[in-house]
Structure 1
């Protein structure tokens, strides 16, 4: 049997690889991975949509020698089967080239190290014209004309990845300025989420500054870890093939406890429900999120559950990580452990939604409604023993009390359960607790205490426990002031 060399046709392969599925934000994330692996502390994305549009990713990392850069510009420069450094964010040795050329036709990389510049360029038009793998090496006069080249010299080290001929970013658009600007806005939010653990410093980790046109990107923490109502559940740590995986569940606050800004951070346009699930981090870099990996369904009661899963790059071969580092599937050994986590947190999430994140035991609360479970399912009955109802019915005659009870039965039978579920599932904030809540609570309290003697044990007991009675328990500060005002006038 005879061996023959059958290399791919350069123009055909490279043009085909442009359609591998990169978006602008995922392409930028791949370049930032390389900067972080090069120990960069400052990474700035500069883009100019007018005249000769370009995108430049500039870092202050270690930079590369001429030989190292030439190797890095080779397609498949790294064997994915080789063992990588524990902090390395790369995988296939294709990201720099495939991500860049998915967005532009001309990729130039300039690096500065040991007071020396080196630069190489892949130009698809040149490759098509020559019909071969022709890479261009820039001369000093060419390097001098590279945008932002003075930044590398002032830093003393670093790398610029320059995209020119941005045909994909402006395809089908009447205005390159508007098209690139809008896509950069989307990229801003994506990068703020994907690299949030680098932007916000963690213990023993230094902070990385990430910016677009010198405007620093904020960290978007999907777990709202600093919110006082976020529940941090216990870690679950296990090993696969000698590598440690750390699983950290969080239960987000109920929507009623979130400001519009916090709600946007937690769910954005997709809403809380669609963003529930596992958040997989490879070396602290978010690679996939908002999925239960078919271990559970996305439903209303689990929508506040989010689980951070930290995996090392040593398990890439088991997670079937794709080239774009935007998709992965857990192996069986991991799924078994994750299933245990799912079962643990879904109950806590459901309880938070039902009780709006209250930390008090439900048994201590005097509810306005009673949940009744029977063979037909679940229904909600008005609590006839609620103090406000007792205060009212005590003033009624026997016939009037019977008529009032019939009215309550009509209200119970017409409880809009389906409509309520639909609205709550859409993340529309409840208006039950609007600005008029103080006035409503005062009126209810006045009705409850109106006919109770000032020195009676019942009155004293109600004043002591009013904060445990619905809906007063939802507004402890307002309730405290109401109780103080009542006591003051006694």
Structure 2
């Protein structure tokens, strides 16, 4: 950062533009949004370059070069337009710097240069450390935004994006490669033009701390639930229910991909910034029905970590420590007396203790903490996962299971018993 003299540049090694093409590209509204376009065209209004640049700076220059041709360049300068030209007039000028050298180093390509960056850096001195730190934070947010919006291009090796000289890694919101992620069948809509596919992300207990932090994205787990709308694999909407549902804590593991072609921009009311999309009325029922299935499964995983395991077990059942019941429309919780560790005790002797725990479970406090800070809870024995406490408890239950099972059967049973199902690596070591 160099205070008011800071410049930003964006460089690509694409096919470049001729002089006429560049002038047309710098003309606001250079495209008819209703004209038929190439299926891979990401533009629509012909405003992206101009609105993005003028939203951040008062002066920008574009240099472009076609293969085997000389580069061309033009500049928009708002101060020049206002004080001198009194009309919208491009000027042929290059900023100070080695821009000619940079463009000639490309066989073809384009460089966009921003100057007089008035929104982010107005009135900031280059020696202002606090401003510099804020500037770095903003740049980190920009990098994460790029990693999100263009993640499918990066993953598909269609392009490589570098930010301050470092390659940007894609952020995929669906954790597709994780073994605990549940994916739903793809649903074609609108005569196959639209494709919808749902994912239920793993419970926190199935993720490493690093995986958990990465999967929450820039806005956090609760905010990232919902539909992810893509147009030609570019993300337009990141985690919204499109007015069909409210965002609620227990649905935060549900994320649904919607793929659109650019021919449906009008029907989906894609805005100029390509950050807003609205589902057509005729598709809302289909989207709501599909999303309801994904959300229902997300609730199961969120509330009851063992349900996925239970469905995969035909003859045995998952044994949680606590069981949820209902009476007169109200929920209450009881200790599962069939849990192998609890059933091995003298139930008659500890029944008063069990009743005391059941009747004094601080449900209101848990609900408040869960809604205010949902990711602040430890998983069972997480604080002492490597200590002898959990291992000793595991050995006690394992030993009791060996009375009626082979060692392998006993280990399989342990994978269906809370909290041991959280620690398969310890079970393997028995």
1:329 aligns with 2:329: no
For residues 324-359 of structure 1, give each alpha carbon's deviation from its aligned partner in whole angstroms, at most 9, with x where no partner exists.
Answer: 111121111232221111111011101111232653
Match of 1:416 among 353, 362, 366: 362
CA 1:436–1:344 in structure 2 vs 1: closer, same or farther (change >3 Å)? Answer: same
Larger radius of gyration: 1
Query: Is the Cα contact below 8 Å between 1:249 and 1:306 reproduced in 2?
Result: yes
For 1:424 and 1:286, the matched residues in 2 are separated by 30
* Matched-pair contact (CA < 8 Å) for 2:228–2:239: yes
Q: From 348, 357, 374, give the equivalent of 2:297.
A: 348
Of 348, 351, 367 in structure 2, the residue corresponding to residue 405 of structure 1 is 351
Query: Which among 196, 207, 213 is matched to residue 151 of structure 2?
Result: 196
C-alpha distance in 2, partners of 1:310/1:89? 14
Q: Secondary structure at the match of 1:346?
A: helix
2:64, 2:73 within 8 Å by CA — same for their partners in 1? yes
Following superposition, the deviation at residue 458 of structure 1 comes to 7.7
Name stretches of at least 5 consecutive residues in structure 2 with no aligned partner.
none
Q: Displacement of 1:192 after TM fit?
A: 0.8
Q: 1:115 aligns with which of 69, 74, 92?
A: 69
**Aligned-partner Cα distance in 2 for 1:462–1:153:** 70
- Once the two structures are superposed, the pairs formed by residues 177-192 of structure 1 within 5 Å of their partners are 177-192=132-147
Which residue number in structure 2 is paired with residue 80 of structure 1? 33
The match for 1:29 is: none
> In the TM superposition, what whole-angstrom CA distance separates every residue of 1:42-98 from its partner, at most 9, and x where no partner exists?
xxxxxx535731111110010000111111111111111111111111111111111
Query: Which has a greater percent of helix?
Result: 1
Quote the Cα distance in structure 1 between the aligned partners of 2:306 and 2:234.
30
* Residue 314 (str. 1) matches residue 268 (str. 2): no
Question: How big is the shift at 1:469?
Answer: 2.6
CA contact (8 A) 1:281 1:309 kept: yes
1:169–1:465 Cα change, 3 Å? closer
Change (3 A) 1:78 1:283: same
Could you tell me how far apart the structure 2 residues matched to 1:453 and 1:340 are? 44
Q: Does 1:102 align with 2:55?
A: yes
Residue 424 of structure 1: CA displacement? 4.0
The total of aligned residue pairs comes to 416
Q: Please list every run of 5 or more consecutive structure 1 residues that lacks an aligned counterpart in the other structure.
A: 1-47, 395-400, 483-490
Deviation at 1:321, TM superposition (A): 1.4
Distance 1:179 1:411 in 2: 49
2:320 aligns to what?
367
Post-superposition offset of 1:437:
3.4
> How large is the Cα RMSD of the aligned pairs?
2.6
Q: Is the Cα–Cα contact under 8 Å of residues 205 and 422 in structure 2 kept in the other structure?
A: no
Shift of 1:466: 3.5
After the TM superposition, which of the residue ranges 258-267 and 223-232 deviates more from structure 2? 258-267
Aligned CA distance change for structure 1 residues 447 and 225 (closer, same or farther; 3 Å): closer
Secondary structure at the residue paired with 1:133? coil
Correspondence for 1:467: 415
When residues 268 and 428 of structure 1 are mapped into structure 2, their CA distance, relative to the original with a 3 A threshold, is: farther
CA distance in 1, matches of 2:267, 2:22: 30
Q: Is the 8 A contact 2:198 2:291 kept in 1?
A: no
TM-score normalized by the length of structure 2: 0.89
In the other structure, the counterpart of 1:35 is none
Aligned residue number for residue 286 of structure 1: 235
Q: CA deviation at 1:111?
A: 0.6
